[in-house]
């Protein structure tokens, strides 16, 4: 797909407008790529037809363009990648890395009520004839990953070494009963297809990473380097959400904020350049950005600080440039 050794991606789902957490993730990926002369790719994760909307895709692309986070071509849509997913499902089945699970939702719910918080492996070792009989009867099924014994470990660029006992990892589903692929599966297939070298995303994905590493190993793929960004928190210490009054990127654009102001503030949500400086141009952010200076502790959203940064950028920006920015908002 490209010649660079550094390739990152931002992979939003078009189920709503671009929120601040997503914008911060996109920005950190973009800054990391530009600082290291790499490529920043965009992948639209639109495999859920009931929730994905074209208008949200357009809004996300528009918001990223406004922020100045230009991406390298091609733009990937997961809805166009189903044939490739099928090929890799067949490969995993042939190597016995997946198995059919015929358990109904009621059966799984009953199992959880009995204290089995992980899938108990009911269908893990079904005989081939039993599987064939159930398939002939038209019983719906999912495909689950056969988690191997042992431990899964990796070096996180922010959190350091992480090791998980595979006994703590569920035999997770990769294909739902309706035939649709799940996130952990498609992310691995597409990151490999796109030659992604570094997966930079929110810490809410920490639990997904061991599952994905198991898939990388099962498929014989090169495992990328992972970095998990700290959560953006509200003043109550909980994950920032609409109930904290946090608007999406479009709202800041509509209210006349300069993209440099918002980028400057978002960069400081979890990253510290090691100085007391808090005002940076876009070019300065590219020059100074270093993932090793991203903190582990959650970053608290502070709208007053954003307002101050915005005011400083306005004072530093020439009138003609501000008018151009406002015209771009129209």
Distance separating alpha carbons of residues 186 and 174, to the nearest angstrom: 8
Residue 305 a catalytic site member: no
Whether the link from the prior residue into 222 is cis, omega within 30° of 0, is: no
Distance separating alpha carbons of residues 7 and 275, to the nearest angstrom: 28
Q: Which of 227, 230, 231, 225 is nearest to 200 (CA)?
A: 227
Whether the link from the prior residue into 74 is cis, omega within 30° of 0, is: yes
Distance separating alpha carbons of residues 196 and 188, to the nearest angstrom: 10
Segment holding 237, helix H or strand E: none
Distance separating alpha carbons of residues 178 and 148, to the nearest angstrom: 26
65, 42 Cβ separation under 8 angstroms: no
User: What DSSP line would sit under 253-271, residue for residue?
Assistant: HHTT--HHHHHHHHHTTTB
Distance separating alpha carbons of residues 253 and 315, to the nearest angstrom: 18
183: left (phi over 0), alpha (psi -120 to 50) or beta: alpha
Q: Which of 25, 77, 33, 31 is nearest to 56 (CA)?
A: 77
Catalytic residue among 90, 153, 238, 242: 242
Q: Which residues contact 23 (CB under 8 A, 6 or more apart)?
A: 63, 67, 249, 262, 266
The catalytic site residues sit at 242
């Amino acid at each position: 797909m490209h010649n660079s050794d550094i390739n990152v991606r931002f992979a939003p789902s078009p189920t709503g407008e671009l929120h601040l957490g997503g914008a911060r993730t996109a920005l950190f990926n973009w800054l990391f790529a530009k600082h290291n002369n790499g490529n920043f790719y965009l992948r639209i994760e639109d495999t859920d037809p009931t929730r994905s909307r074209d208008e949200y895709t357009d809004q996300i692309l528009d918001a990223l363009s406004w922020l100045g986070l230009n991406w390298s071509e091609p733009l990937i849509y997961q809805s166009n990648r189903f044939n490739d997913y099928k090929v890799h499902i067949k490969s995993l089945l042939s190597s016995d890395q997946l198995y059919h699970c015929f358990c109904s939702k009621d059966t799984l719910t009953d199992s959880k009520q009995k204290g089995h918080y992980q899938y108990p492996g009911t269908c893990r070792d079904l005989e081939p004839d039993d599987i064939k009989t159930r398939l002939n009867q038209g019983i719906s099924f999912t495909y689950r990953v056969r988690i191997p014994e042992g431990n899964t470990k990796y070096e996180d660029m922010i959190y350091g070494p992480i090791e998980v006992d595979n006994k703590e990892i569920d035999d997770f589903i990769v294909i739902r009963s309706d035939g649709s692929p799940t996130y952990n599966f498609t992310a691995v297939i597409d990151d490999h297809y796109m030659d992604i070298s570094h997966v930079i995303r929110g810490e809410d994905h920490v639990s997904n990473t061991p599952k994905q590493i198991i898939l990388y190993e099962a498929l014989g793929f090169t495992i990328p380097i992972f970095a998990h960004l700290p959560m953006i928190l509200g003043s109550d210490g909980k994950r920032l959400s609409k109930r904290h009054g946090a608007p999406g990127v479009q709202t800041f654009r509509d209210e006349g904020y300069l993209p440099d102001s918002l980028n400057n503030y978002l960069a400081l949500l979890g990253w510290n350049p090691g100085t007391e400086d808090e005002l940076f141009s876009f070019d300065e952010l590219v020059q100074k950005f270093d993932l090793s200076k991203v903190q582990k502790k959650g970053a608290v959203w502070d709208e007053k600080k954003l307002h101050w940064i915005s005011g400083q950028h306005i004072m530093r920006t020439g009138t003609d440039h501000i008018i151009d920015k406002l015209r771009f908002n129209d």
